[in-house]
Each structure stands twice: as C-alpha cells, then as structure tokens.
C-alpha cells in the first residue's frame, strides 16, 4: 500500500570493509540512529544488496576480491540497487581516483581516518534525500484508491525489470485480473461500496503475491495486472489460481455475483523477457487478456493460461 517517509531508525546501512576493525568502528558510529549491516568483501556486499536492498551503502575502496569501484559499478546495473546512495570510504583520493568513483556512480566520499560527525551528517543527508524521493515516487506511481502501483509505474519502471530479466535470460509472467460482474455490484450497492470492494480485492491480491520483485498494478477500473519476473508458465498459473481462490474465500457479499459473493477471473501468459524487451510488456498483456476473456467466457471465477489457439 502507500508508503510513508521512513525514519532513520527504519533505514538500513550496509557497511562494506574487509578489515574487521574498520567495520566495528563504523558500526559504533552509526548504530545509534540506523540499522547497521556488514559485509567483509565485495562479493558478499553484492549478494546481500540483491537479497535485502539497503537504504545506503558505506563502501571501502580497497578490498582483495572486488574493489569498491567494481562493487559500485555492479550495484548500479541492478534495478533494485541502481538508486541506492553509495558513499566511498577511502584513505587516498587524487583526481584520477575521484573521477573514477564518479563515473561508476558514487554518491559521496568520506576520508580515512573517519570524522564521526562528518560521516553522520553526510549519511543523514543522503538518507533524507532518498526517503523523500521514495515517498514522492510512491505518490506518482501508486493508485490513490487501492495503494497498488498504477499505469505510470507500468510504463516507467516495468521496462527496467524486463531488461534485467532479459539480461539473466529468464522469463516473465503476467496475470490480468478482472472482478466478475462488477458493474452490477456498483449498480446495486453504489460507488462508495464499490470503492471499498476494489480496496478489499486489491489487498487480497497484494497479500497473495509473495515475492518482493513481483508487482501488482491497478490497470484500470476493476482490472488488475500482476507482473511476475523469473517465473515459468507453471509458476504463473499457480499464482493466478491462488489469487482467484483467495478472493472467493473472502466471501465478499455480491447479490448478483456467482454464489452470492465477489469473484474474479484471471488470464495469464509467460514469455522469455528478450522477446518483448522493446514493447513494455504490451504483447504479453494482450496474450494474458485473451486468456482472461476465455476464463470469463467459460464460467468466470477461474484462471486460464494463454494458448496460441485462442
């Protein structure tokens, strides 16, 4: 649902340094106002960032396996870490090194030996900027009624996801969902109750879709999209069926619905991401929409997968 501005105590800072004494020192400076996490190597830092994205990375320049420049460059490639502030901690800084840091996407620098006050103020400044930006984006990219992502998010952010999945040579699944006989619901109960129904269904869909990288979007009216990166047809079908069952199980009263309750129909389709990298998922949405039409045409309250024969 809609985000709020994070407090410092909710922000996670990943401290990356191969020297244990440096990690302990930096953690002792920061642990009073942020959540500290640590990594002892560049490879571990990248792995941790992909598993649990931090709000800021404090990155040592010189490490044996991957140096700070390589780590920063790698983090800027992944959509989920591309905008995370990265502050380099370094004992040497000449013009050539400084330029190299800017080129790979550094946000700031702190010199060793670290001044605690300077470090604290710089981290707070970057965290304030990041959390405020995230809040503003939540207002731009979220539907105000349901709190789900909106079509602006679909147009601006999903293409980044598609490119990343294409780079990893994997597939994306899309589920198109429609509330059955929703016009009759509005006509019978009124639009205020219709809005409450939309909110309840949106919440059920969002709570059923478990993975952090999946996205639930209000596509328009009573129609929703679920974007599932790194999934095959079986996985997309399983999620679609779980959503249909969850809405039915909620038993939201609908006098003109199937069995007197609100139900949904769903259509799903999957493709290798490379096949629609330039179409912003339009072709895959059309295929899932055709499967949705079949689900509605053959009885509603069910999920159908796309078949080329449709």
Q: What is the pLDDT of residues 159-179, one digit of tens each?
A: 989 999 999 999 999 999 999
Give the pLDDT mean for 282-307.
95
Report the range of poorest mean pLDDT among 95-99, 111-115, 222-226. 95-99
Predicted confidence (pLDDT) per residue in 124-157, tens digit: 999 999 999 888 877 788 898 999 999 999 998 8
Categorize the per-residue pLDDT at 5 as very low, low, confident or very high, splitting at 50, 70 and 90: confident
Q: What is the mean pLDDT of residues 94-114?
A: 90
Q: What angle do CA 15, 79, 26 make, to 5 degrees?
A: 10
Do 244 and 293 have their domain in common? Answer: yes
pLDDT at residue 56, rounded to an integer: 97
Please list the active-site residues: 222
**CB-based contacts of 190, cutoff 8 Å, min separation 6:** none
Q: What is the mean pLDDT of residues 192-207?
A: 97
Q: Is residue 1 part of a domain?
A: no
pLDDT band at 309 (very low <50, low <70, confident <90, very high): low
| Residue 2 belongs to a domain | no
Total structural domains within the chain:
2
Residue 31 pLDDT > 60: yes
pLDDT number for residue 139: 79
Q: Which residues contact 60 (CB under 8 A, 6 or more apart)?
A: 16, 17, 18, 19, 22, 68, 88, 89, 90
Indicate whether 190 and 134 sit together in one domain: no
Question: pLDDT-based confidence at 209, cuts 50/70/90?
Answer: very high
Under the banding of pLDDT at 50, 70 and 90, the label for residue 2 is: low
Give the CATH number for residue 200: 3.30.70.270
Q: How many residues does the chain have?
A: 310
Do 76 and 116 lie in one domain? The reply is yes
User: What is the per-residue pLDDT for 79?
Assistant: 82
> Are 86 and 116 contained in the same domain?
yes
- The residue range of the domain holding 201 is 151-305
Mean pLDDT, all residues of the chain: 93
Task: Judge if 258 and 184 occupy the same domain.
Answer: yes
Q: Please write the tens of the pLDDT for every residue from 45-94.
A: 999 999 999 999 999 998 888 999 999 999 999 888 999 999 999 887 78
Gap between the Cα atoms of 288 and 294, Å rounded: 10
Residues 47 and 164 in one domain: no
Q: What is the dihedral of CA 195, 211, 246, 182, to 10 degrees?
A: 30
Q: What is the pLDDT of residue 3?
A: 58
C-alpha distances out from residue 191 to 255, 272, 287, Å:
15, 40, 31
310 band by pLDDT with thresholds 50, 70 and 90: low
**Is 1 a residue whose pLDDT tops 60?**
no
The pLDDT of residue 212 is above 90: no
Say what the pLDDT of residue 96 is. 86
Measure the CA–CA gap between 52 and 288, rounded to whole angstroms: 31
Domain assignment of residue 172, yes or no: yes
Span 247-269, average pLDDT: 97
Residue 192 scores a pLDDT above 90? yes
Same domain, 124 and 188: no
Q: Percentage of residues in the chain with pLDDT exceeding 70?
A: 98
């Amino acid at each position: 649902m809609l985000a709020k501005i994070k407090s410092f105590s909710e922000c996670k800072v990943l401290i990356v340094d191969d020297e244990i004494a440096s990690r302990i020192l930096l953690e002792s400076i920061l642990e009073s106002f942020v959540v500290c996490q640590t990594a002892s190597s560049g490879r571990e830092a990248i792995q941790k960032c992909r598993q649990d994205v931090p709000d800021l990375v404090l990155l040592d320049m010189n490490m044996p396996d991957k140096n700070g420049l390589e780590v920063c460059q790698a983090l800027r490639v992944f959509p989920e870490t591309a905008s995370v502030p990265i502050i380099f901690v370094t004992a040497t800084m000449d013009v050539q090194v400084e330029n190299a840091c800017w080129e790979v996407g550094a946000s700031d620098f702190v010199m060793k030996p670290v001044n605690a006050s300077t470090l604290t103020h710089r981290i707070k400044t970057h965290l304030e900027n990041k959390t405020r930006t995230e809040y503003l984006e939540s207002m731009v990219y979220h539907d105000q009624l349901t709190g789900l992502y909106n079509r602006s998010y679909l147009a601006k952010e999903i293409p980044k996801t598609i490119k990343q999945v294409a780079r990893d040579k994997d597939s994306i699944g899309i589920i198109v969902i429609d509330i059955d006989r929703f016009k009759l619901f509005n006509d019978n109960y009124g639009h205020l109750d219709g809005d409450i129904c939309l909110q309840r269904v949106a919440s059920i869909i969002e709570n059923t879709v478990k993975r952090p990288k999946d996205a639930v979007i209000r596509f328009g009216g009573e129609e929703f999209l679920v974007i599932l990166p790194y999934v095959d047809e079986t996985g997309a079908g399983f999620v679609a069926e779980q959503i249909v069952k969850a809405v039915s199980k909620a038993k939201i009263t609908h006098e003109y619905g199937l069995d007197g309750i609100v139900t949904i129909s769903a259509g799903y389709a999957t493709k290798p991401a490379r096949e629609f990298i330039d179409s912003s998922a339009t072709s895959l949405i059309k295929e899932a929409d055709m499967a949705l039409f079949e689900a509605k045409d053959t009885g509603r309250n069910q999920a159908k997968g796309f078949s080329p024969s449709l």
